[in-house]
Structure 1
Amino acid sequence: MKKAFLTLLFASAFAQAQNGGLPPDLKAQVLLDRAHFSPGQIDGRYGGNMKQALLGFQRARGLPATGKVDQATLDALDDGQPLLSSYTVTDADVAGPYQPIPESMADKAKLSALTYSSVEEALGERFHASPALLKKLNPGKDFSRAGEQLMVPNVAASAPLLPAAKLVVDRSDHVLMLLDAGGKTIAQFPASTGSEHDPLPVGEWKINGVGRNPDFNYNPKLFWDAQPGEGKARIPPGPNNPVGVVWIDLSKDHYGIHGTPEPGSIGKTQSHGCIRLTNWDAALVADQVKPGFPAILQE
């Protein structure tokens, strides 16, 4: 019964969005994304990433740090813009190209590019949302038909991000924060920050540079979970590349901040010591940094 009720809520979401009638968790996620306190992949569900986004926003705005979707927080988040927007599927969306992504590095290396696997995945990344949420917002819609009208999170309504002066990664909270010259947090993103095998390299580092749509040079000697018999391989670029659409190189050898082919896993799974963000969050951070930019990695 509860599932059927939620389905009805999502089915009528576009009309409700015009007067703020979306389910509170989904409403908060869209607003947090636009405020640059990212909940990660927008999925309409309250979880650890959303809690950290709420806490970060509340602290930055001087609100009680509850980590909950309370009215004071919703009021502070409200930017007066529609929560959803209409999107028309294009011929380019339908054309792709799309392909299944193999598991092994050797098979990935045989491809010319690691493209999206489906139009649903591509549109999910464009609108910072899980494909499952897009389907709930658009029951009965054909994502593979050019001209189809879809309801999507209105993430394009974000305000410009103010200039950042420092980057801080916090392992305990699983977040990456951008701070202004006065030390105030102006943006926050969920992050996967190492593991017991490859712990986060705590310390004060700097950004060496940014590579967009990079190749990935796989060396199994650097990965504790490499499969027996694996050799070095050049993995072609694309959103499903192991480091996603951007690599932000740190002054610590072999470490960087980068995107991911699995946005739903950010903040929930371990990494190989690097800092993983969603592709869209990594791209936004890349726009803010330059060689010599300070990067503080802390417990």
Structure 2
Amino acid sequence: MMVGTVISKTTLKLATILAIMPLAASFAYGAPIEPDAIANATFDSWQKSKSGKGDSKNGGEEAVLEIDQQSGEVEAAKPEAPKPDAAKVAVPGQPDAVVETPEQSTDVPDEAAAQVSANPEAEKELKAAEEKAAEEKKSEEGGDKKQAEADPFLIRVQVLLDRAYTSPGEIDGMFGDNTRKALAAYRAMKGLPAKGELDEKLWDSLAQDTASPIQSYELTAEDIKGPYFPDLAEDYAELAKLEQIGYRNVTEMLAERFHMDEGLLKALNPDADFEKAGTKITVVAPGGAPDAEVTRILVDKKKGELRAYVGDAKEPAFVAPASIGSEDTPSPSGKVEVVAVVKDPTYTYNPEINFQQGENKEKMELPAGPNGPVGNVWIDLSKPTYGIHGTPWPNLVNKSGSHGCVRLTNWDVGRLAELVKAKKTKVEFVD
């Protein structure tokens, strides 16, 4: 059986649809970003730009930028509004064994799109919600302007967090919830005081990684070749005709390769010809997977976070934001184990046990690919129908609930796949 999905037969509430649907495009960056601004960004310069109180090291009044845990506000700047945020597989280490991936995965990342497209009123309300969110980014509240553009210092911070194995999710230069959680995880891993602020002590620890946060990359002929699918259909019958559900274009592919928001990639390279081999561009320099064999994973449903541990270690070796269940389709409780790691999983649509999308009344198999419903990695769990997997919408991770499974960015689940072992790695869901 293929990786598939299950959905309640009751109609999804519009609120759920709006929470799951992605914005039509990634965050709109107002102006080009100079690579040197990222490479040379420091905590002192960030404080000066945000507080307007001068350099504390040179006699100015010290300004610590505290983060309100409820609102996510920084003293002199508020965060952005949330972004509308093979059938049988060999079992690693067991050459003669295979595992069938579940047909009834409870995670349904894309069914909301189908229901919106079939409901003119829902589509109208979604458009209104998107327009309202865009306006809120430009509005002023209490005289403090919301963060409307990516901050070079925050880009550097996110890169350093990613390299320290405390993933901030999509690197976008915005002080969002995933970045705040990554900072908290980093504090715990390094034994720093658990304060809700980005202070100089934390920065000094991060800045011990002196490698450049940016790097140069030259587009190859293979990068340009693709294949790409600029007009990916929503209709599953159309997707089922494809050889793969691949990237829409080269910039989407590169952004995911370097753990970046696609808009940030373009803002760093406003004049780049992304359709020409040999083009040199600037990208961030993110991290890989730690050199570790993870024996246990904690899935924190309340925090929306996955933490991977080695042995009895108190602090995790890897942390990533995650979309974990919802009230209607919660993730399981208790302990399970990793059964297998499936790379490039296919996806089975079955309207008899799943939702019906449009006029599609027949069971069909959707091909593999990073823009498929479960991304490009499925980590199969011993509890039937549940897994840890990727997503075609990295900007929505921890911004909306899943339908029971654990959804990470494609790059984070790819890193996790290198750390786990079938029949050895235990997974515990905690509330």
Whether contact under 8 Å (2:246, 2:369) holds in the other structure is yes
Partner of 2:211 in structure 1? 81
* 8 Å Cα contact 1:30-1:154 kept in structure 2: yes
1:199 to 330, 334, 351: 330
Deviation at 1:240, TM superposition (A): 0.9
Relative to 1, partners in 2 of residues 1:199 and 1:228: Cα closer, same or farther, differing over 3 Å?
Answer: farther
Count the aligned residue pairs.
291
User: Aligned runs of 1:81-100 on 2, under 5 Å?
Assistant: 81-99=211-229, 100=231
Residue equivalent to 1:120? 251
- What's the secondary structure of 2:373's corresponding residue? coil
In the alignment, which of 387, 401, 405 is matched to residue 270 of structure 1? 401
The amino acid that maps onto 2:323 is: S
- CA shift in 2, pair 1:94/1:223, >3 Å: same
Aligned pairs for 1:145-156 (under 5 A) are: 145-156=276-287
**1:165 match:** 295
Give the alignment of 1:270-289 within 5 angstroms. 270-289=401-420
* Conserved 8 A contact 2:326-2:401: yes
DSSP 3-state at the match of 1:7: coil
Q: Give 1:225 deviation, angstroms.
A: 7.8
**Matched-pair contact (CA < 8 Å) for 1:197–1:224:** no
Alignment of 1:39-188 (within 5 A): 39-78=168-207, 79-99=209-229, 100-156=231-287, 158=288, 160-181=290-311, 182-188=313-319
Of the structure 1 ranges 66-75 and 143-152, higher mean CA displacement relative to structure 2 is found in 66-75
- 1:296 counterpart = 2:317: no
Spell out, residue by residue over 1:47-74, the C-alpha distance to the aligned partner (whole angstroms, 9 max, x if none): 1111111111111211122344322222
Question: How many Å separate the matches in 1 of 2:324 and 2:352?
Answer: 20
Question: Radius of gyration: which is bigger?
Answer: 2
- C-alpha separation in 2, matches of 1:16 and 1:168: 37
Q: How far off is 1:16 after superposition?
A: 3.5
Gaps of 5+ in 1: none
The one-character-per-residue Cα deviations of 1:93-132 (angstroms, maximum 9, x if unpaired) are: 1111111221122221111111101111000111000110
Q: Greater CA deviation, 57-66 or 219-228?
A: 219-228
Say if 1:223 and 1:272, in contact at 8 Å, map to a contact too: no
Partner of 2:380: 249
Structure 1 residue 184: Cα displacement? 1.8
Identify if the C-alpha distance between structure 1 residues 163 and 68 changes in structure 2 by more than 3 Å, giving closer, same or farther. Answer: farther
Secondary structure at the aligned position of 2:379 is classed as: strand
Matching residue of 1:258:
389
Using CA pairs below 8 Å that are at least 6 residues apart, which structure has the higher relative contact order?
Answer: 2
RMSD (CA atoms): 2.0
**C-alpha distance 169-240 of structure 1, shift in aligned 2 (>3 A):** same
Aligned partners of 1:143 and 1:68: how far apart in 2? 38
CA distance, structure 2, for counterparts of residue 37 and residue 281 of structure 1 = 10
Counterparts in 2 of 1:176 and 1:227: CA distance versus 1, 3 Å: farther
Structure 2: distance between partners of 1:275 and 1:230: 28
Distance 2:293 2:158 in 1: 23
Q: Contact 2:290 / 2:317 at 8 angstroms: preserved in 1?
A: no
Structure 1 pair 220–74 and aligned structure 2 pair: CA distance change class (3 A): farther
* Alpha carbons 2:308, 2:318 under 8 Å: kept: yes
SS at match of 2:274: coil
What's the TM-score once normalised by structure 2's chain length? 0.64
Q: Once the 2 structures are TM-superposed, how far is the Cα of residue 138 of structure 1 from its aligned partner? A: 1.1
Structure 1 Cα separation of the partners of residues 203 and 387 of structure 2: 34
Read off the aligned partner of 1:76 and give its amino acid letter.
Answer: S
Aligned to 1:73, the other structure's residue is in SS state helix
In the other structure, the counterpart of 2:152 is 23
Q: Distance in 1 between matches of 2:232 and 2:196?
A: 36
Q: 1:214 to 1:154 in 2, by over 3 A?
A: same
Would the alpha carbon gap of residues 223 and 75 (structure 1) be closer, same or farther in structure 2, given more than 3 Å must change? Answer: farther
The one-letter code matched in structure 2 to 1:265 is L
The alignment-based identity, stated in percent, is 40
Distance 1:296 1:132 in 2: 36
- Whole-angstrom distance in 1 between the partners of 2:393 and 2:379: 18
Indicate the SS of the match to 1:196.
coil
